[in-house]
Structure 1
Amino acid sequence: MTQINNKGNKSKHRWALITGASSGIGLAYAWELAQSKQSLILVARNRGKLHEISEELSKRYGIAVKVIAADLSTSQGVEHVINETEGMSVELLINNAGKEESGEFLKLNTADMLSSIALNCSAPMLLSHHFARKMAENGGGRILFLSSIVAFQGVPLISNYAATKAYLLTFAEGLAAEVQDKGVDIAIAAPGFTDTNLASDMNFDNTPIKPMEAMFVACYTLEKLGKQRIIIPGFINKFLFYSGKYLQTRRINTTAFGKVFKQVLSNKLNKTQPKEKQA
């Protein structure tokens, strides 16, 4: 495994930093970028899992990998990432880490929802503020935000989660226009249901929608970087986006999405207390 010391010389590497890198789409990004010999900074809460991934990627692809264990739902976690990457040239930031709590809003824990807002909204904003400035100073870079197809309208049973993804979409669109002349390219990925731990207890038996593979989402969005600002993987997700934009009202879209989530969350809704899931 390639060891990275904060006091050592890091200038020879140009890094991609991935948050939520220990599982799901974040892990898929790590594997796909490693194949192209990209030096990686992997961020997640699970230090042991990060080290396992780091060792495997380093051994297989001969790349430099740095792991940072941090809880990005806290200001201390965000600051830890910033401190640990001091002096490192980050050319790609993937704001992937996210958390979802689903179920009837009135039964959800408000502390969980505030934590989701911190992880899904505040952390990407703070990391982008720091690294976009560095990228502008160094001649350019790229930032990818992981939003969602649910960002384009309100969605019952995941109202707080959908709102956090709407924040990412709107924030990233505005930021993209603001920093494009500074050489910083920003894109937003808006996938639908994906086979990750966020969807592990969802029931898709009676729906026409099936989860996409995390690796497909990662490969598709990376291929579209620099070509599209809003990247929507999957035919059904594209159909939902365009029909929602041109054929249906937001209210109809909200109702339709609500019916889908009532079905896919049927198992969870029968439980007394919903549990949060984090990527």
Structure 2
Amino acid sequence: MTNRSQRPLAQAERLRRAYGAHAVVTGASDGIGRAFAMRLAEAGFGLVLVARREAVLEALAAELEPRARTRPVVISADLSVPEDVARIERETAHLDVGLLVAAAGFGTSGPFVEGDLAAELNMIDVNCRALAQLTYLFGRRFAARRRGGIVLMSSLVAFQGVPRAANYAATKAFVQSLAEGLAPELRPVGVDVLASAPGPVMSGFGQRARMAIASGQTPDEVAVGTLNMLGRRTTVRPGLLAKALEASLMLLPRSARAAMLARVMAGMTKAA
């Protein structure tokens, strides 16, 4: 009998056959990015791990080396810097990269006009501009080889405005729309694009965003559910919680969804 934790191994042959030998994972130092890296290593991919904290990435590479076919490549990069993003593509030019998992990102919370403008603009740089730059660079590369996969991290909040997380939700709406538009553009040249839209996730995200997330999905649940649907859908709500939240919101008009999530955010950000 196959349990949930074994499912990615069952998908390993399909994923490698579809996308090739190497995968680039951004935001790999913790949370969802780390979970993707763990699962892709188990699936036999050579990995390129990208994040700002080089020491953390080196420790992860050492941990993953016995599982992966080769020692993962580590690239320390600040995705808010365009040159650092371009460097990722250059430093992987010698590798047969066929899969991009753009898991890097962060959020903020609280009233937008009371927040820190520099932090809000930095979030747009990381969540939107860097993601678009990476998707463009690797998308062209995959289209030229006529094979590849791109995973973009959307969110439950991408489908309506969210008071007290207005800018973060807007960045995720950009990601969702980009994925939905790119998927039919790139499908004819053999490139799969998937938007992964989880609900609340128990990771370091909540602490940085100053949100009190009392319960949610695990990063591994998100990674498993996403990899299982790559090449099969354009959008996935990975895990039971994401699907339940989608079901509770999908029949409501956007204004009602925004009002409901406003109440949720008010409860999660009382201490902010």
Say whether the fold is shared (TM-score over 0.5): yes
Q: Kindly state the Cα deviation for residue 62 of structure 1 after the two structures are TM-superposed.
A: 4.3
Candidates 263, 267, 273, aligned match of 2:271:
267
Distance in 2 of aligned mates of 1:243 and 1:203? 21
Alignment-derived partner of residue 32 in structure 1 = 39
One-letter amino acid of the counterpart of residue 18, structure 1:
V
One-letter code aligned to 2:265? F
Q: Distance in 2 between matches of 1:106 and 1:215?
A: 35
**Partner SS state of residue 136, structure 2:** helix
Residue in structure 2 matching 1:256, options 234, 237, 260: 260
CA contact (8 A) 1:149 1:237 kept: yes
Instruction: Could you tell me which runs of 5 or more consecutive residues in structure 1 were left unpaired when the two chains were aligned.
Output: 1-12, 269-279
CA contact 2:25–2:37 (8 Å) conserved in 1: yes
**In terms of mean alpha carbon deviation, does 85-94 or 36-45 score higher?**
85-94
Q: CA deviation at 1:99?
A: 1.5
CA spacing shift, 1:242–1:44, aligned 2, 3 Å: same
Corresponding residue number in structure 2 for 1:83: 90
Q: How does 1:199-218 map to 2 (within 5 A)?
A: 199-200=206-207, 202-204=211-213, 210-218=215-223
Shift of the 54–236 alpha-carbon distance from structure 1 to 2, 3 Å rule, reads: closer
Alignment of 1:1-279 (within 5 A): 14-200=21-207, 202-204=211-213, 210-245=215-250, 247-268=251-272
Q: Deviations over 1:205-260 (max 9, x none)?
A: 5xxxx211111111111111111210102334223324433x21111100100100
Structure-2 separation of matches of 1:140 and 1:230: 19
Report the equivalent of 1:8: none
Q: Tell whether the 8 Å contact from 2:45 to 2:68 is kept in structure 1 after alignment.
A: no
3-state DSSP class of the match of 1:228?
coil
| Local SS of the residue matching 2:65 | helix
RMSD: 1.5
CA shift for structure 1 position 45: 0.2
Question: Which runs of no fewer than 5 residues in structure 2 stay unpaired?
Answer: 1-19
Q: Contact between 1:136 and 1:184, CA under 8 Å: does it hold in 2?
A: yes
**What are the superposed Cα offsets for residues 154-192 of structure 1, whole Å, 9 maximum, x if unpaired?**
001110000000000001110111111010010110001
CA contact (8 A) 1:34 1:63 kept: no
Which structure: greater helix fraction? 2
8 Å CA contact 1:204, 1:263 repeated in 2: no
Tell me the secondary structure at the aligned position of residue 192 of structure 1.
Answer: coil
Q: What is the TM-score of this pair, normalised by structure 1?
A: 0.86
> SS of the residue aligned with 2:246?
helix
User: What is the CA-CA distance between 1:26 and the residue it aligns to?
Assistant: 0.2
CA distance in 2, matches of 1:105, 1:93: 31
- What SS does structure 2 have at the residue aligned with 1:42? strand
Larger CA deviation: 138-147 vs 57-66: 57-66
Q: CA separation in 1, counterparts of 2:26 and 2:84?
A: 11
- Deviation of 1:116 after TM superposition, in Å, equals 0.6
State, as a whole percentage, how many aligned pairs show the same letter.
37
Task: Confirm or deny: 8 A CA contact 2:100 2:149 kept in the other structure.
Answer: yes
Question: Residues of 1 paired with 2:88 and 2:35: CA distance?
Answer: 21
* Residue identity in the other structure for 1:249: P
CA apart distance, 1:60: 4.3
Q: Indicate if the aligned counterparts of 1:21 and 1:42 stay in contact, CA closer than 8 A.
A: yes
Q: Kindly name which structure, 1 or 2, has the bigger radius of gyration based on alpha carbons.
A: 1
Amino acid at match of 2:229: K
Q: Secondary structure at the match of 1:217?
A: helix
